[in-house]
Amino acid sequence: MSHEIYKNQDFYAAAVDIWALGVILFIMLTGIPPVETPAEIDPRFRMLAEGRLSELMDLWRVDFLTPEAR
C-alpha cells in the first residue's frame, strides 16, 4: 500500500502503481517486504523515503544481489 492510500489522501494512480511494482520487485528479489507500514512511524519507511535503500539492505545483510539488481 502506498503512503497516499494509507493516509487516505488524493493520489496519482500511475505513481501508486509504480510504487506497488517496486514493492513487488523488492519482495521477489529479497523475500522481505521493504516496509511494515507505509508511514513515518515505520523506521524502514523513513529510510526508503530518505533514499537510504542501500543502507537498509546492508542492515538486513542482503548481499546476494548483483550490483545491477541492487
The structural domains of the chain, with segments of one domain joined by +, span 3-65
Total-model pTM: 0.74
Q: How confident is the model at residue 27 (pLDDT cuts 50, 70, 90)?
A: very high
Q: Is the dihedral of CA 27, 31, 34, 36 positive or negative?
A: positive
Residue 43: its pLDDT value, please? 92
Q: How far apart are CA 14 and CA 59, in angstroms?
A: 31
Answer yes or no: is pLDDT of 6 > 70.
Answer: no
Phi, psi for residue 55 in degrees, rounded to 5: -65, -40
**16 DSSP assignment:** H
> How many CB atoms within 10 Å of residue 35?
20
**Using one digit for the tens of pLDDT, what is the confidence trace for 32-60?**
999 888 888 899 989 988 999 889 889 98
